[in-house]
Amino acid sequence: MDVRTGFIALFCLIGLTCAEPVKYVDCGSATGKVATVNISPCPVQPCKLRKGESYSVNVTFSSAVESKTSTALVHGLIAGIPVPFPIPIEDGCKSGIQCPIQKQQKYNYVNALPVKTQYPAIKLVVEWELRDDDQKDLFCIRFPVQIVS
């Protein structure tokens, strides 16, 4: 094994130890089915999201429909009230998914969840949706997090 191959193997190993499957609740995946959700780094649950840092969210799902586009919406649910959580890329077709989306295909949606320094330290539930052409959820998941300083 050459040095470059060794670094790649080490990097992959580090990535696997940092990305843990996250317990989630399906909140209405109308046109798709979620297989797994990983957040990195998230060694314990609920994930502790440190202010000023960004986290990788990876959702593996399959689609029951064809769709030319996909759009992500993220909210923090605080006392049941949805508060928009801006993400850097709302276009799912630029987040690991090759569009158009095909029926019965498996996809890995990957995006960043930046935690702004001005967010309060609070426990909340993140609701993450990925919508198809008809504004129906390819997936809708909810998972608990805690924002920490």
In the predicted structure, residue 1 carries a pLDDT above the cut 50: no
Q: In the chain, where are the structural domains located?
A: 20-148
d(CA 113, CA 49): 9
CATH number of 20-148, picked from 2.60.40.770, 3.90.180.10, 2.130.10.30, 2.160.10.10: 2.60.40.770
89, 56, 74: which is closest to 119 by C-alpha? 74
Q: For 95-138, how does the pLDDT look when each residue is reduced to its tens digit (9 = 90+)?
A: 999 999 999 999 999 999 999 999 999 999 999 999 999 999 99
For the chain, the average pLDDT equals 88
Mean pLDDT across 40-61: 95
Q: Residue 48 belongs to what H/E stretch?
A: strand 47-50
β partners of residue 25: 142
From residue 93, how far is each of 11, 16, 71, 113 by CA, in Å? 26, 24, 8, 17
Residues near 106 by Cβ (< 8 Å), separated by ≥ 6? 35, 60, 61, 62
